[in-house]
Structure 1
Amino acid sequence: MLVESYTLQPSSEYPLFIAAKRYWTPEFERNASNPSAQTLIVLHSTSFHKESWEPALEDLFRLASQPGSKTVIREAWAIDCPNHGESANLNHRALREPGFAKFSCEQYAHAAIRFLSAGPSHGARVDFRRRNLVGIGHSLGANAILMLQNIKPIFSILIIAEPMVSATGRESLRSVRDGLVERAKKRQAFWPSQEALKRAFVNPKNSAAKWDPRVLELFAEHALYWNPELKGFSLCCTPQQEVAMYLDEEGLTNPVEALNKVCHLIPVHLILGEVPDLMFVLQEAPALLASHIFNVLSSNASLPPPRL
């Protein structure tokens, strides 16, 4: 799998960096002239980063490249939430400002829209209006992708995995949210080394011990940044920022309203786990998630791109 990094610079209207990565294989390059070829836009979950999608994308690309596959993929783009991953490191000063102290799900959606709307002269240097776009999100990313499509309809298909939404309203999610908030408050924000984090996370008592090894390696590399003041590694998404996102009330309800509208306009595929053990399919079973995404893409391979 080939990878390229891109960054959309801040402007006077929007003071944050937005980092993204493009993923593809040499085999996919022949699909560039096919207007129906699918360009995947993937958004990540709270406290993670755009690279957390890499294992699932790698497995998905392998399935799409097998003989007899009906899925025609051009490439995939993973976009950071601006207070996560590489973007958070670039934005560390701006995120201290009052306007960004409580970053929201909707702000992630707007950041993704800004990146995808930058045009051929900025950021990705791609006119995404000419692409057949498929929106894919996990957890926070699923909520954000729903809000994105409602704000600016650009996708021909949506695939939402483990969204934090409920048709019965925010009260039914309160216990889950409160548990996530408590976990975030207790999260260790500083590590003496990346190896120290990996040793702690593979401990059987740690829930991260269930993660795919590839996901753990990527987390140690991309969810931490070198902190010269502390002479160690700090989390890119601080526990305070993580808590603020869980406490985003509109982030729990607005995606449901968006889903009610969107599902009447384009195919929307919902992926949920059978066991109610929070939202970690991307971390624990990326190959399984990739197979479900592949099945969705295959079943919708003949759909024409939307008119934007």
Structure 2
Amino acid sequence: MTTVPHFYSSTLAFSYPGSSHPGMKALAKRYIPMTRSRDLDCGLTLVFAHCAGSHKEVWEPIIETLFSQCSPVIREAWSLEWQNHGESANMNCSVIESGRPGVSITEWEAALRYFVLLKAQEGHCLVGIGHSAGACAIVRSTMVPRCAQMPYVAIVIIEDAFGTREAWAEQGELLQNSLDLVMKAIEKRRDVWADRKDAHDSLSKRQPWKFWDKRMLDLFVRHGLRDALPFGSDQPTVTLACSKQGEKAVYADNNNEPYREASDHIASLDRSFPVHYVYGEKEDVIPHSLHQRVMASRRMASIHSLPGAGHFAIQENPNAVVSCLESILKDTAEHLPSRYKL
């Protein structure tokens, strides 16, 4: 177990039922507040899911600040990693290389659902927090069997990548063209560097990384890249942990049906269940019209606009994300049954 400011952390590797990739495992990183002096059976357990191309540690600046500012309402936090991203890409290397490029979000969903149902059964009071594709994974993890209870007490959707069926019916060609442009940009992206310093220097001058908070870029270089030895070479390099082919596959995942299903499911959730919606003030990757469609699909528990942030809200303005989450978590904690309160 390693010690870092404001939290202790440790990583759990686990297998899960329903995998379409035999032998694949998932990683979940646990964070416990260092300052916590009361009963750890109380308070909220936060479950984080990152965006495509990222890694589980991306949430650490946000977790650290939340622990320092509203530790009394938080029991612990977990960050789950997509199986072909970050450290998980190394762990699952042989499984990934033996199959088709990419790991569907439905695979991540299976691991996430198994994990949160287990934690809920252990008595944890869970709040799911997802960014972009991670928001889709969080929402899809609520698609539980009828015999199972909802594992979360609330979920927070940050800069989602959903497109409602109505939006696809009206703007399908435009949306597909946008996805095609994203995939072409990924294909042209540089993905090999001499070392991490070379990668940092290069990325800091290019979009979208040059707009990121310094802490987020540093974390990406540390956890979003992996060491590599190119075939036929004895010169070590670093490359993307989630390969370009793996990231491109996200934007063509089952013709984007998992994301439309997620938007359907949000609308179908019980109206009393708290869904908090957070989006970036800047309209860059996701048109605000798509966000408005999702917001109109149900009564949201709260809606927040993040200043100075676009689709990469977590990376661009983590402090604004913290402010939103602090408000949401304190409100959620106030409405918990007394047995969960400190």
**TM class, shorter-chain normalised?**
0.7 to 0.9
Once the two structures are TM-superposed, the CA of residue 110 in structure 1 deviates from its matched residue by 0.9
Report the CA distance shift for 1:128/1:4 in structure 2 as closer, same or farther (over 3 A): farther
Task: Work out whether 1:158 is the aligned partner of 2:190.
Answer: no
Please say if residues 49 and 134 of structure 2, whose CA atoms lie closer than 8 Å, have aligned partners that are also in contact.
yes
Hey, what's the Cα distance between the residues in 2 that align with 1:10 and 1:298?
32
In the alignment, what sits opposite 2:141? 148
In the alignment, what sits opposite 2:86? 85
Report the CA distance shift for 1:95/1:302 in structure 2 as closer, same or farther (over 3 A): same
For the residue of structure 2 that corresponds to 1:27, the secondary structure is coil
Q: Which deviates further from its counterpart, 9-18 or 159-168?
A: 9-18
Hey, what's the Cα distance between the residues in 2 that align with 1:30 and 1:277?
43
- C-alpha root-mean-square deviation of aligned residues, in Å? 2.2
Task: Work out whether 1:7 is the aligned partner of 2:5.
Answer: no
For the residue of structure 2 that corresponds to 1:39, the secondary structure is strand
Report the CA distance shift for 1:116/1:300 in structure 2 as closer, same or farther (over 3 A): closer
Choose 1 or 2 for highest CA Rg. 2
Task: Work out whether 1:234 is the aligned partner of 2:236.
Answer: no
Task: Work out whether 1:297 is the aligned partner of 2:302.
Answer: no
Hey, what's the Cα distance between the residues in 2 that align with 1:102 and 1:220?
21
For the residue of structure 2 that corresponds to 1:61, the secondary structure is helix
Once the two structures are TM-superposed, the CA of residue 27 in structure 1 deviates from its matched residue by 2.4
Once the two structures are TM-superposed, the CA of residue 29 in structure 1 deviates from its matched residue by 4.8
Task: Work out whether 1:111 is the aligned partner of 2:111.
Answer: yes
Higher relative contact order (CA 8 A, sep 6+): 1
In the alignment, what sits opposite 2:284? 277
Pick the aligned partner of 2:191 from 189, 192, 196: 189
Report the CA distance shift for 1:296/1:20 in structure 2 as closer, same or farther (over 3 A): same
Pick the aligned partner of 1:16 from 4, 19, 24: 24
Task: In structure 1, give the amino acid aligned to 2:274.
Answer: P
Pick the aligned partner of 2:262 from 245, 250, 255: 255
Report the CA distance shift for 1:224/1:42 in structure 2 as closer, same or farther (over 3 A): same
The C-alpha deviation readout for 1:188-229, integer Å capped at 9, x for no partner, is 2222111111101222x5331111111111111111111134
Hey, what's the Cα distance between the residues in 2 that align with 1:296 and 1:86?
30
TM-score (normalizing by structure 1): 0.86
Hey, what's the Cα distance between the residues in 1 that align with 2:197 and 2:59?
21
Task: Work out whether 1:169 is the aligned partner of 2:177.
Answer: no
For the residue of structure 2 that corresponds to 1:226, the secondary structure is strand
For the residue of structure 1 that corresponds to 2:93, the secondary structure is coil
Once the two structures are TM-superposed, the CA of residue 284 in structure 1 deviates from its matched residue by 0.7
Hey, what's the Cα distance between the residues in 1 that align with 2:178 and 2:272?
30
Q: Which deviates further from its counterpart, 180-189 or 286-295?
A: 180-189
For the residue of structure 2 that corresponds to 1:63, the secondary structure is helix
Task: Work out whether 1:180 is the aligned partner of 2:177.
Answer: no
The C-alpha deviation readout for 1:39-70, integer Å capped at 9, x for no partner, is 000000000000011111112222214xxxxx
Task: In structure 2, give the amino acid aligned to 1:288.
Answer: A
Task: In structure 1, give the amino acid aligned to 2:278.
Answer: I
Please say if residues 17 and 82 of structure 1, whose CA atoms lie closer than 8 Å, have aligned partners that are also in contact.
yes
Task: In structure 2, give the amino acid aligned to 1:162.
Answer: E
Task: In structure 2, give the amino acid aligned to 1:154.
Answer: P
In the alignment, what sits opposite 1:202? 204
For the residue of structure 2 that corresponds to 1:272, the secondary structure is strand
Please say if residues 41 and 124 of structure 2, whose CA atoms lie closer than 8 Å, have aligned partners that are also in contact.
no
For the residue of structure 2 that corresponds to 1:22, the secondary structure is strand
Hey, what's the Cα distance between the residues in 2 that align with 1:233 and 1:73?
36
Structure 1: where are the runs of 5+ without partners?
66-70, 120-125
Please say if residues 31 and 73 of structure 1, whose CA atoms lie closer than 8 Å, have aligned partners that are also in contact.
no
In the alignment, what sits opposite 1:39? 45
Q: How many residues were matched structurally?
A: 289
For the residue of structure 1 that corresponds to 2:27, the secondary structure is strand
